[in-house]
Structure formats: C-alpha cells, structure tokens
Amino acid sequence: MTDPLVVFTPSGKRGRFPVGTPVLTAARQLGVDIDSVCGGRALCGRCQVEVGEGSFAKHGLASTAAHLDAITATEMRFDEKKGLPAGRRLACQALLRGDVVIDVPQESQVHKQVVRKRAEARAIALDPVLRLHYVEVAEPDMHEARGDFERLKEALEAQWGLSELTIDLPTLRAVQPKLRQGGWRLTAVVHDQKRIIATRPGFHDKAYGIATDIGSTTIAAHLCDLLTGEVLASAGMMNPQIRFGEDLMSRVSYVMMNPGGEKELTETVRGTLNALMAQLAAEALIDANDIFELVFVGNPVMHHLLLGIDPTELGGAPFALATDSAIELYGTEVGMTAVNDSARVYVLPCIAGHVGADTAGVLLSEGPHLQDETMLVVDVGTNAEIVLGNRHRLLACSSPTGPAFEGAQLTSGQRAAPGAIERVRIDRETLEPRFKIIGTDYWSNEDGFAAATRRIGVTGICGSGIIEAVGEMFLAGLIDADGVIDGGLAPRTPRLVQEGRTWTWVLQAGEPEIRITQTDIRAIQLAKAALHAGCRLLMDHLGIDKVDRIRLAGAFGSHIDPLYALLLGLVPDCALAHVSAAGNAAGTGARIALLNVQARREIEALVRRIEKIETAIEPRFQEHFVAAMAIPHKTAATPELAKAITLPVPKRSSTTGDARSRRRAPRA
Amino acid sequence: MTDPLVVFTPSGKRGRFPVGTPVLTAARQLGVDIDSVCGGRALCGRCQVEVGEGSFAKHGLASTAAHLDAITATEMRFDEKKGLPAGRRLACQALLRGDVVIDVPQESQVHKQVVRKRAEARAIALDPVLRLHYVEVAEPDMHEARGDFERLKEALEAQWGLSELTIDLPTLRAVQPKLRQGGWRLTAVVHDQKRIIATRPGFHDKAYGIATDIGSTTIAAHLCDLLTGEVLASAGMMNPQIRFGEDLMSRVSYVMMNPGGEKELTETVRGTLNALMAQLAAEALIDANDIFELVFVGNPVMHHLLLGIDPTELGGAPFALATDSAIELYGTEVGMTAVNDSARVYVLPCIAGHVGADTAGVLLSEGPHLQDETMLVVDVGTNAEIVLGNRHRLLACSSPTGPAFEGAQLTSGQRAAPGAIERVRIDRETLEPRFKIIGTDYWSNEDGFAAATRRIGVTGICGSGIIEAVGEMFLAGLIDADGVIDGGLAPRTPRLVQEGRTWTWVLQAGEPEIRITQTDIRAIQLAKAALHAGCRLLMDHLGIDKVDRIRLAGAFGSHIDPLYALLLGLVPDCALAHVSAAGNAAGTGARIALLNVQARREIEALVRRIEKIETAIEPRFQEHFVAAMAIPHKTAATPELAKAITLPVPKRSSTTGDARSRRRAPRA
C-alpha cells in the first residue's frame, strides 16, 4: 500500500509519509512553515492547522476523503485549558491515516505577516531575532559527568537543531535552579540562534520587544508581542533633554561648554526611556521581565547620546560619526533597567553626520530601494533628512531647515499640541480667515467651536498651521511671490498692521493675539528653500528633473497638507496624488527591525551603499537655495496644482487622507 | 639582473625580492615569523634581525657578501632612544641590496618560546589571545562620510589584515578623542583577532596578563608581559573564604545553610583577587590599566564561586557542574576592578564534579596527552584529583583524601608554614628523631638550629612532615604494617606513651609538645589509602598494572619526598627516578593558557575526551581502598625502594630535586 499523500496549503508543498506520522513532522520534513514553541508537546498551541476537507480534487488527489486520526485526548485537554477552535487540530498531535490536504492558517506560520495599518506600506514578515524554545533536558548522571548547561545545550541541539549555543553569565547562574524548578523542563530564550539570554522553568510562551524612536522633541515607543508581531501598546513622552536646548545644536553646544555634560544628557534620556518602557508594560498588563529585545532609532546626536558617546564631533565640520555601523549590545550597557536584565539592544545604523538611524528606519519602512519608481522621502525636523532613489541608486543628505517648521522662533509659533492652529483658510473676497486647532474638529467659524475649545483655548500656531497660513496669504494676495506682505491691501482688511517698515497680518485679534510678521514669513521661506534645495541637489546627483513619488515622514510631514507643501515649493513638483504622509516612518522602521532579523541585515547593507551628499560642501546647494526662496517656486504652478487650489475648501480637511489617524499620531 | 636572494634562519625560508624591498616585507611574504607591534614604522623595535655574514656558503649561495642598505637615519634615531644592539638591524627599515642571510633571533619571533624554569616541563610558545596593533587612520572627510570607528577598522584591515572587527561600547566611546589625541595614530588592543577592547593614542607597546590559581587555601597569581611571555611578578595570598570553612565541603555547607551565602563567598574571594592584582602591578611597577587579560583555574567549588554560581549542586550526588565548558567573559562581569575595565577573562574548563579547572591546568602543564609513556598525575588537596593516561587515552577521577595531608585535624598538625616540621628522621638504633622546620636549613640536632629557630619556633607538623614521620616510624619498627604503634618498644624509648588502649609517639617533648597518636596514623592511612585506591581504579580502567611516570602536583605534592610517598604507598609503584614534583602545575597551566591561545583550544578539546570516573559509584574503589590501608602496601617493597631507604640520610634533603625552589613555592 502506498503511504498517504499530504498536501499543505497555501505553500502547495506535498509528500508521502508512513501512516501514523504526525502532521508537524511531515510539515518539517517538507520545509512547510509551521510555528512551534513547545517543540511538539501540545503545550503552545501555535501549530494549529485545518483539514482542507472539500478541496481534494483541485490538488489532483484521487480520494476526496480527509484522513487524520480522530482528535486525541491531548488535544481535548489543550482545548479545555486554552481552547482549540472548531475544525482546528494541533499539527504535533494529529497523525496521518490517509491522503489529506492540510491548511496552515496565517497565524500558525513562523514567518506570518504582521498587519500594518496603511495599505501602501510594505508588509512585515514576522521573523524576530529572539525565539523561545521549550526543551526536556536529561538529568545529571554520575556515570557520565557533563555540566547542566551542556546537557541543556544538547537538548536544544537535539530538539531544535540549535548548535554552538553560548550563554550569558547571569543566565548560566540560573540554569541549575531553573532546571530543577521545572522538573528538567525549561524554556530557553535564544538570541539570534546563538546565545541563551534567559531561561524559564517549564513551558513559557511570552516574549516582548520595544521599538523606540528617540526624537529631539518626542520619544515614541511601541511594545510588540514577538510571537505574534502585534503592537500591544504605544506611548510617547517628551524628550527631557529639551531643558538642555530645544534643538540639536544647542544640546551639542551644552556638551561642548560643560565638560562631561554628555553624561547628563545621556542619563536624562535613559531615565525617560525606562519610564516609558515601564508605562508600556503596565498598559499592556505584561511582566516587564518578559521584555527581551529593544530597538532604537534616532538622529545622530540622539543616537550618540543614547550610547553615551560624546556628540561634540557632530557639532562641527567634518561632522564625523563615532560609528556608522549598526550596534548590538545588552540593555544594561545603555542603562535599560525597566526590562529583563538580559534584554538585548539593536540600534539601527546612522548614515552620515546629519543623517541618522531614524532615516535608516524611514528607509526600512518606505523601502525606496525596493522600487523601480524614484521616490523622494523627506523627514523634517530641525534638520530635514532627505533620501532619493530607487532599487538602483539611493542618495541621502540633510538640509538645515531650522526650527520654523516646528513652530519654534516664530512670533506666535508653538509646537504641535492641543490648542495650536493647524489649519488655516482665507476667504479670497473678504480676506477673513478661519482656522482649526489641534484637539477639535470644528473650524473657527462653525457653531460649536467656542464650546469645543473652551477648555483648550487657542494657544498659538504650529508648523502645519503656518504653512497653510502662508499659502493662503499668497493665494489671497496678501503676500507676493517674494514673500513680501502687501500693505496696499490694508484698506480692505483691518488685519494688516504696519510695524516699522514692514507689515504684519493678524490671524486672531483676540486673546492671545496670533500674528504673522514679515520676519515669520522670511523664516518659513528660508526653511522651505533649504528643504527644496536639498531635494534638488539629490535630484541633480541622480540626474533627474522629476520624482515619481514623495513621502512626507515624521510628525511635521504627516501633518502638513501636501497641497500646500507643493504650493509653497517645500518639495519639488510631483503629481499631487503621489505625495503622501508616511506617519512616524522612523518608528515603523524600528518596529520592522524588531520583528524581522533579515530587515537588520538589509538596512546594514543598504546604509553602506547609500551615496551620502554633504550639502555644506556642495556649491549647487547654495544656488538651489537662493532660487527656492520665491513663492510659489516657478515650477510649482502646474495645471494640476492650480486646479486643486481652486477646489471648494471642504468643511473638514480631507485632502491628506484620514484626518483622524493623523490627529492620533505623535506630534513634534 | 636577477633579484637578490634572501634566506632567513632558523626557518630556512628563502625567496628573491627586488632591490629596495624592506627585509620585513620579504619576511612576511615568505611567512617568516617576525614580530611587530608598530607595523613597520621603526617604533617598537620588535623586528630586530641580524645579518648572517659568514654563513652564506652553507646555504648554498654563490656570493659570500651580505647586501643590505647602510644603517638608516631612522634606525639611528631608534638606537638613540631605545638602543639597538651592535649588529642588529630593524627589519622594517633595512632594505635589500643583494643576496643575504638574515637571522631572526628568538626574541624577534612572534611565537617565541617562553623560558620555563624546570627543564622537563613542556615549552610554552608565546601566542597570546591579545595583540597590540599600531595604525595610522585616515582623517574624516565630508566627501565620504564614514564613522571614525569604521575608518579605524579599515586601517586595521589594510595594515594588519584584521577583518570583521567589533568593538566594546566603552571602547567605542573613546575612539574619537583618542584618534584626535594621537594625531590619527593609535594602538588598538585586539582580542582574539576579533574585538577591539581598548585603544591608546599613538604608539603603545605594553600589554600584561595575570594567571591565577584559586586554591581553597591559597591564591597564587603570576603577572606576565604578553609581548615577551616573561613573568614580571608572582604573589600569593590566603583564600579569605577560609573563615567560612577550612575545606570545600564546609564552604558548600555554609551556602546551603545560609541562603545567598554564595554571594558572600564570591565577594570575599573577588576582593582578595583585586588586592592581589593591584599588588602584582605595584611590584612590577606597571600601570594596572595595561592589564588586559586574566586567566583563572580552580577546583569546581572555587570555579563556581568565582563566577558567582551557587555551588550547592557540587555538595551532593550527582555532583552536577553548572558547566564544564571553558568560559570567556569580561573582567567586570566577575568584579575585577583592579585591572583595565575592558580586560577579558578566560576560565579553564572543569572536568567533572570533583575534578576542576585546576586539573585542566595541570594537564596543560604536564601534557600526559602528548606522550607515549603512561603518566599518573596526582594533585593532592582535601580531594586528590588524579589523571592517568597517554596520547591515546586519558582518565580522571577525584578521591576523598580528607584534610590529613594538609596537616589538618591531626593532634599536632598544622598547615605548611614557617615553624612547621616538614622533614623527620628516626635513628634505627636509638629511636631518637631529628627534624627540620620550614624556614630554616638546619636539622634539629645540628648546631645553629636553636639560633635559627629562635624567632620562628617549632609550631606543629605539616603534611610532608607527618608522611616522613609515619614512614620513619615504620622503618624504625615503631609501627607495624597495619599502622599499629608498638608499645612493646616503650622500654627502649621514653617517647612512647600509653593513652588508654593505644600508644602515642612524642616527636618533641618540649614546648609545644609534638605528638603523633594512633588516631593520627589512622587518618594518614585513610588518606593514603583513598589516594592509592583512586590511582588503582584508573589503572584498572586503563587496563595497566604499572605506570611509567608519576608527577606529584600542588603544594603537598611538591613538598613530600617521593621516597616516602612510595614507601607508604600513597601512589602505586614506580621507578623512584620517575616520580617527581610538578610544582604548582595548575598555576603553570593557567600561565600557558594566558600566553598561548592554541593551548585554550587544546584543553577545551582534551577535557571533552577525558574519561571521567566517579569513585563514589565504583565498587572496586572500595576494594582498593581496603587493600591499601596497610603499610607498606605489599607491592611497595621493591628492591629499588628497599635500596633507597637504606641510603645514608643526607644532611640536606635533595632527593626531590631543588629544595630551594620548593621552599619558595606557595604552600597549602
């Protein structure tokens, strides 16, 4: 009699195995991707499969009957304890009796896809650097002297194919008591298939990781389940280094002027990271001791300060990084006390003196190097980090946009926070403005605005608000193409006020007064010219005139309306539909590196082949900069853009997609 | 014209190179072993060679003239600063002009031999795990963004062929300032050709290591120059754990009865290690910050306590080690604060529950696995660790000899220390004894003894003293073959005193009285029977009746007279000339592992193939034990031994080799 044929879906892998072979064994021999933590002992329930009853014919099998043993007592016990959905079997327990089609559901696959919110983003395959392995270990035997650790290693090799494992000393110390507590059964937490970083007596199936983006202003972190890829909790905190200086260079100056000051900056950010991680564990109701893996991204200064490296060299030419390699170490080496003592850290590589590990994260998230289209990715903070390219070539630079886009150093400017004006429209006829603030859905001219903002108040104008204000001022004729406020319109509106030789426009006359001065407009012009010039410089190097797609990353990038970004010429011309927000792409990249070890190798190789352009030594940067000061940049007046601008202004801004999700994202 | 021919001696390697080739370059291309730290920059002076002027003919060269460029200005500068012996050239500076024979002196070879004191011991080839590499590093360049660490790596790869180097975080932190301090010249301390553990600005040629044997009683350490292999200082200290229990098992009991007690024991031994290392650095007048490598050996309990591993499992069957692998870690992980913060630690592997890393050290030192002869190596402490074998097979066991050999728990017993009786002779006619104490060269019946011992005093009898006393009592007829003190001789000597039903022999009647009771003799019989039985058990397993060579290791082994060891049957019969002391072989093994990285791989592989015999579960051990109680063991009465015993007793004991060197060795 021929052995039963088993066909696995969706892989289509197939083979014949003797009657009585467990489905999991057959799957492994065929290289079918089925998860398991317990190694086939009906403990973890990760190897659930379904019998594809009616689908025999299409797989070309003669019989249409499914042939597995009846459900076992072991599976019934598992069902009682943890629940086994109807129709599901544990692949480790179900034995082959005859030809059968076995469907491996997505969640039972080792390299399962992690769901991402935005459809356009690249999918994440779950393949974490850290795995749990349950083993049964031989007891010590006086006839054959071997250490307990060596017997554990032998078990991991025999039962999981892991060879040449090493162990941390603190973990080694715990091996003997844990083996005995667990009755010679133990779950090993194995890092990169090489090193045992922790053990748990008996069966244990909890392992978490945290992906963190350390921004100059905000630190955002996501707690993920390393076994499912799920995000269990997300949280953000202000970067406490702000008290040493709002922007990066003032923090570097602090270090230069206060010897040893980098230690203060390092300690303060590590303290906040620990608080943030403890908060995440508490929110997700997990044991922080089960957090074994941390991934960090950040700009070069944040990167160096996290690691305790003096950032002084980043403060002046030639802007030398201490290292541009990815870094692997122990959490304890960088003061991470809120997670497991053996937790490992992976820090994405910096790219150049002004292009950080955050940009490496953006690259992982946006994947320009995986596409034929030429993509421009812009992450705007105090510096804009700009990447341009496709699967063939990739270039990166940083451009000194200054703090204006973050609302800083403007007359009525403020950081994006509840109360800040984020949207502005100006009636072309009456020249009267209306606006929206962060924290409500009402425009200022709508009923309900007063009630909705009673507690928040209008506190200032943030980066995206000033962009729209300047854009609308231009469309309404309040400023000319050179950015000069036109005092000639003063007879038509009381909001134009003369101050010395220039004019100021008053967006809100009440308390507080929100004003946009000529100086404010100059600051925005300088910032947008710098950003534009950086983009053009990369386009020159790549030898192109037009980009296929633009992604606006980071808090500012996610909040500005692409329409106004194009109108003011923050970025080069591009079809409006191909300009979109990328959210916290740096943080997403950190999450990808947390969940997929191959992504680490990918970004490490990629960073090495990126062409780094230093704007400071490129004469053409200055030329582009001067040319980009005007509003609108001459090439911006495309018919498509012109059409978009004449569209009726919607009651609720929906030009940039889902306003709700944008409002929930962290703000710079 | 043919290129000049160069012949290197002693290797005999030869080749032709263009005129103007530096001798060092030619040597490297031919694979000739010439040392260099500075990489050919005339800084380190390690590549000194001599021109073999007159020896041309024997190498088959036509010309008899040596052809090198005249001594260079660079070499003259080196000579002024550091001195260049007459006839010596720096291989990196001397350029080939014509055919020449170049002699590479021993001290200029990378794998130079380290001189060992005892001629019979195996030679140590210097090949430390840690090397210094001087490099010139490219300055940062805005046109090509690379991290400082990456440029350092590139320099180490280009100039030293070291690839894939990694770095410790604290060392990474220092790379930028050190590169700038040294004007882009730096010396890297590289561990195992893999990891940069420290850097020094400019040229640096100091690197030290310490080999330490942690005994239950004494800790002995040697500070070595890793560039020459030389021992710069040696020191010993008492193991402070003694206050938790004299012997191993009482320390394990302390831990078992005091939860967390292992932390106390660990801290106390680490504190002493730090004090010892600081003392060594001070004695050798070196900077402790240049100590980068530490090697440890010790019995399993000492091994576990150094690492902070609870030794409870070693206190009872099945005597499971936490690990039997060698361990590599950072000094900071085991609390080593007296050396460089990045210093690495290597701990030799334990072999079995009672056979420790100290025995692994003994194996490296004595090398039974490298010999055709069958060698028995015995290291006696509270437990005797016994190894037997040759290049084909190797067996090990431990035997519970108890504390008698260390002078403990005997009526007048004491540890070997100044004042302790270490040698005893009894006149066969008068039955009057004479003795020697540690600290003087006089026998007690010699003129000058009283003066020499006035300050020390006679304080007790140590292990080697009691062995000789019992042996001499037997030869003088004071005890019979069963170890019973013969009261029938009381009329002939007042030193025999009846106590209840047994007799006691008084070695010294004065103050203090030194007595040997029947119980003391029984204790020695039990100890020597255990030792003998362990040896016999291994011989049974190996299937032999006689061993070719016996090495007595450790403090006790080095102090006892082989004659009496054979007489009393501590060890099986062997030609007296083939029984000898091995000194602190465990410590020597640690030093070998410190100086030669291949020795580490050798002992790791060897430990895996040793056959471990557990005496506790071997019925034949008990049989051998009972049979070995008698004195002399029946097979001990060989004609050779009988002849040796009748020899006139020398004024100064010289039967075991150099008495002086033994007196300087640490004592248990």
- Over residues B509-547, the pLDDT tens digits come to 988 999 999 999 999 999 999 999 999 999 999 999 999
| Distance in angstroms (rounded) separating the CA atoms of residues B422 and B438 | 6
Each residue's pLDDT tens digit, B585-607? 999 999 999 999 999 999 999 99
Q: Could you give phi then psi for residue B652, rounded to 5 degrees?
A: -115, 130
Burial class (CB in 10 A: 0-12, 13-18, 19+), A634: exposed
Beta bridge pairs of residue A355:
A352
Residue B594 has, within 13 A of its CA and on its CB side, a CA count of 34
Helix residue spans in A314-446 (DSSP H): 357-366
Each residue's pLDDT tens digit, A449-459? 989 888 888 99
- Complex ipTM more than 0.95, yes or no: no
Mean pLDDT of chain A: 89
Q: Is the peptide bond before A300 cis (omega within 30 degrees of 0)?
A: no
- In this predicted structure, the answer to whether residue A659 has a pLDDT above a threshold of 80 is no
B330 touching chain A per CB within 8 A = no
- In this predicted structure, the answer to whether residue A417 has a pLDDT above a threshold of 90 is no
How confident is residue B39, by pLDDT bands cut at 50, 70 and 90?
Answer: confident
Each residue's pLDDT tens digit, A321-365? 999 999 999 999 999 999 999 999 999 999 999 999 999 999 999
Which range, of A141-150, B53-62, B325-334, averages the lowest pLDDT? Answer: B53-62
Q: Which residues in chain B have their CB less than 8 angstroms from residue A143's CB?
A: 614, 617
Residue B320 has what pLDDT? 96
Residue B60 has what pLDDT? 53
Name the strands in the sheet holding A433-437, side by side, starting at the edge strand that comes first in the sequence.
Answer: A433-437, A420-426, A460-461
- In this predicted structure, the answer to whether residue B655 has a pLDDT above a threshold of 70 is no
How confident is residue B245, by pLDDT bands cut at 50, 70 and 90?
Answer: confident
Q: Could you give phi then psi for residue B364, rounded to 5 degrees?
A: -60, -40
- In this predicted structure, the answer to whether residue A647 has a pLDDT above a threshold of 90 is no
Yes or no, beta carbons of A176 and B310 under 8 Å apart: yes
Mean pLDDT computed over A502-530: 94
- In chain A, what percentage of residues exceed pLDDT 90? 71
For residue B137, give the DSSP letter.
Answer: -
* Contact by Cβ (8 Å): A214, A239: yes
Please give, rounded to a whole number of angstroms, the shortest distance from the CA of B155 to a CA of chain A. 14
- In this predicted structure, the answer to whether residue B309 has a pLDDT above a threshold of 70 is yes
What is the token pair recorded at B635?
């097979």
Please give, rounded to a whole number of angstroms, the shortest distance from the CA of B463 to a CA of chain A. 31
B307 touching chain A per CB within 8 A = yes
A163 touching chain B per CB within 8 A = no
Residue A64 has what pLDDT? 40
* Contact by Cβ (8 Å): B566, B641: yes
| Closest residue in A to B613 (Cα–Cα) | A143
Q: Burial code of A77-112, b = ≥16 C-beta within 10 A, e = fewer?
A: ebbeeeebeeebbbbbbbbbbebbbbbbeeebbeeb
Place of tokens 């992690």: A114
- In this predicted structure, the answer to whether residue A245 has a pLDDT above a threshold of 80 is yes
Which range, of A114-128, A379-393, A540-554, B120-134, averages the lowest pLDDT? Answer: A114-128
| Closest residue in A to B151 (Cα–Cα) | A323
Residue A58 has what pLDDT? 53
- In this predicted structure, the answer to whether residue A592 has a pLDDT above a threshold of 70 is yes
| Residue among A393, A409, A394, A465 at smallest CA distance from A433 | A465
Mean pLDDT of chain B: 89
Yes or no, beta carbons of A309 and B177 under 8 Å apart: no
A152 touching chain B per CB within 8 A = no
Probe site for chain A from B143, B149, B617 (most A CB atoms < 10 A): B149
How confident is residue B122, by pLDDT bands cut at 50, 70 and 90?
Answer: low
| Distance in angstroms (rounded) separating the CA atoms of residues B221 and A620 | 66
Which range, of A664-668, B291-295, B546-550, averages the lowest pLDDT? Answer: A664-668
Q: Burial code of A499-529, b = ≥16 C-beta within 10 A, e = fewer?
A: eeeebbbbbbeeeeebbbbbebbebbbbbbb
What is the token pair recorded at A377?
């990715």
B194 touching chain A per CB within 8 A = no
Mean pLDDT computed over A519-542: 96
Q: Model-level pTM?
A: 0.86
| Residue among B107, B112, B115 at smallest CA distance from B91 | B107
Probe site for chain A from B152, B176, B196, B310 (most A CB atoms < 10 A): B176
* Contact by Cβ (8 Å): B197, B207: no
Measured between its terminal Cα atoms, the distance across chain B in Å is 70
| Distance in angstroms (rounded) separating the CA atoms of residues A319 and B389 | 63
Mean pLDDT computed over B81-102: 90
Residue A408 has what pLDDT? 83
Yes or no, beta carbons of B313 and A141 under 8 Å apart: no
Residue B111 has what pLDDT? 75
Residue of A143, A177, A308 with shortest CB distance to B173: A308
Yes or no, beta carbons of B172 and A616 under 8 Å apart: no
Yes or no, beta carbons of B173 and A322 under 8 Å apart: yes
Residue A638 has what pLDDT? 59
* Contact by Cβ (8 Å): B103, B74: no
Residue B319 has what pLDDT? 94
pLDDT: which is higher, A104 or A642: A104
B230 touching chain A per CB within 8 A = no
Please give, rounded to a whole number of angstroms, the shortest distance from the CA of A168 to a CA of chain B. 9
Residue A254 has what pLDDT? 93
Please give, rounded to a whole number of angstroms, the shortest distance from the CA of A220 to a CA of chain B. 24
Mean pLDDT computed over A48-70: 64
A316 touching chain B per CB within 8 A = no
- In chain A, what percentage of residues exceed pLDDT 70? 91
Please give, rounded to a whole number of angstroms, the shortest distance from the CA of A354 to a CA of chain B. 10
| Distance in angstroms (rounded) separating the CA atoms of residues B409 and B401 | 13
| Closest residue in B to A164 (Cα–Cα) | B325
Mean pLDDT computed over B193-202: 97
* Contact by Cβ (8 Å): B197, B172: no
* Contact by Cβ (8 Å): A284, A232: yes
Residue B63 has what pLDDT? 47
Residue B646 has what pLDDT? 58
Each residue's pLDDT tens digit, A87-120? 899 999 999 988 888 998 888 887 777 655 543 4
Residue A59 has what pLDDT? 52
Instruction: Walk me through the domains of chain B, giving residue ranges and CATH numbers.
Output: 5-108 (3.10.20.30), 129-201 (3.10.20.880), 209-351 (3.30.420.480), 358-403+523-661 (no CATH), 412-516 (no CATH)
Q: Which residues in chain B have their CB less than 8 angstroms from residue A147's CB?
A: 320-325, 350
Measured between its terminal Cα atoms, the distance across chain A in Å is 70
- In this predicted structure, the answer to whether residue A32 has a pLDDT above a threshold of 70 is yes
| Residue among B252, B186, B294 at smallest CA distance from B591 | B294
- In this predicted structure, the answer to whether residue B668 has a pLDDT above a threshold of 80 is no
- In this predicted structure, the answer to whether residue B667 has a pLDDT above a threshold of 80 is no
Q: Is the peptide bond before A648 cis (omega within 30 degrees of 0)?
A: no
Residue A454 has what pLDDT? 86
Place of tokens 């905190």: A237
Yes or no, beta carbons of A351 and B145 under 8 Å apart: yes
Residue B143 has what pLDDT? 86
pLDDT: which is higher, A39 or B118: A39
- List the 597-616 stretch of A: residues with Cβ below 8 A of B: 612, 614, 616
Q: Are strands A460-461 and A420-426 parallel, antiparallel or unpaired?
A: parallel
Probe site for chain B from A196, A306, A323 (most B CB atoms < 10 A): A323
